[in-house]
Amino acid sequence: MSTSLPPSSRPHQPGDLTASGPSAARTWLNKVPEVTAWFWVIKVLATTVGETFADYLNGTLGLRLAGTSALMSAVLVVVLLAQLRADRYRAPIYWLTVVLVSVVGTLLTDNLTDVVGVPLTVSTTVFALALAATFAIWFAKERTLSIHAVTTLPRELFYWLAVLLTFALGTAAGDLLSEQVGLGYWPTAVLVAVVIAAIAATLYGLGANAVASFWAAYVLTRPLGASLGDGFSQAHADGGLGLGTTWTSVVFLVVILACVSYLTVTRRDQTPPSALTHTAR
């Protein structure tokens, strides 16, 4: 259902970062790209890099989980601050933030599993509950979970917290299926792809809720991308293609860079300013 944005969250001119009135929240143009095929392609690629690059830093470079977690968390904080300061969606900084959140979300689950010893069933359940709580609080405060309405600082903070939790949840659920249940990398990827296709079918064929469908697919692209990353990088003996984490990370990063460069030039994934006066709830 479409509805007009409330006065405190209607878009302003690019240079006007503050809404009028003493208690108005800081307001921007939308900070999230349009959900096109490009969005999902780059999201899956970023997810794959999150899996393989974390493994590269941890294993190949020998930083181990503690060093990798500290380094990537620090880099994420710097980049996320730059993303939050931007007055609108900008493809390079947005997708760099997604890649880094993917890495940190992966490391969050890996630390709980490998260092703390939390079972994957427990971490999957905890992250699912944390994500549900985030959505509940977000909706209670903002009355929308639509990514077409990420136009204020509180909404963007909720958005990035939800994204981080989707990566952590997807990592735990994916590892649970591919390792503990024993499906393997490629069968897990196929299974998750089928579920995503089913979500798309209910959305476009049966008119399912667009916001719920988006976030369900967003969670599932994490185990899809991670399974693909492991499938390409892991040794033949482990069911992979044996490309290694270095080459897999490099190849996928190059493709991400090409896609983001294209979108930066063409702006095919940017919301037209006139469309920001309405949002799906």
What pLDDT score was predicted for residue 264?
Answer: 93
Top mean-pLDDT range of 10-19, 62-71, 248-257: 248-257
Assess contact for 230 and 51: CB atoms under 8 A.
yes
The amino acid present at 42, given as its one-letter code, is I
Rg value, the chain, Cα: 19
Q: pLDDT over 90 for what percent of the chain?
A: 53
Chain-centre distance for alpha carbon 56: 20
Residue boundaries of the structural domains of the chain: 35-267
| pLDDT, averaged across the chain | 84
Q: Which pLDDT band, with edges at 50, 70 and 90, does 57 fall under?
A: confident
More confident residue, 91 or 8: 91
Q: Helices 244-266 and 210-233 meet at what angle, rounded to 10?
A: 140
Q: What is the mean pLDDT of residues 177-205?
A: 89
Supply the pLDDT for residue 27: 55
pLDDT tens per residue, range 136-169: 999 999 998 988 889 999 999 999 999 999 999 9
- pLDDT value of residue 278: 47
**In sequence order, what DSSP letters do the residues of 52-73 get, joined into one string?**
HHHHIIIIIS--HHHHHHHHHH
Q: Is 242 in a helix, a strand, or coil?
A: coil
Q: Are 83 and 97 in contact (CB under 8 A)?
A: yes
pLDDT of residue 60: 74
The pLDDT tens digits of the residues spanning 267-276 come to: 888 866 555 4
248 confidence band (pLDDT: 50, 70, 90): confident
For 280, other C-beta atoms within 10 Å of its C-beta total 16
> What is the per-residue pLDDT across 8-24, written as a single tens digit (0 to 9) for each?
333 333 332 223 333 33
Name the burial class of residue 264, with classes exposed (0-12), middle (13-18) and buried (19+) by CB atoms within 10 angstroms of its CB.
middle
Q: Is the model's pLDDT at 281 over the cut of 50? A: no
**Ranges 3-12, 157-166, 231-240: which has the least confidence:** 3-12
Residue 62 in this model has a pLDDT that exceeds 80: no
Answer with the residue of higher pLDDT: 62 or 163: 163
Token duo for residue 138: 């977000």
Amino acid found at 112: L
Give the range among 73-87, 223-237, 245-259, 261-275 with minimum mean pLDDT: 261-275
Find, among 45, 13, 90, the residue nearest to 267 by Cα.
90
Q: What is the pTM for the complete model shown?
A: 0.82
CA 213 to chain centre: 15
How large is the average pLDDT for residues 219-224?
A: 90
The pLDDT score that the predictor gives to residue 18 is 28
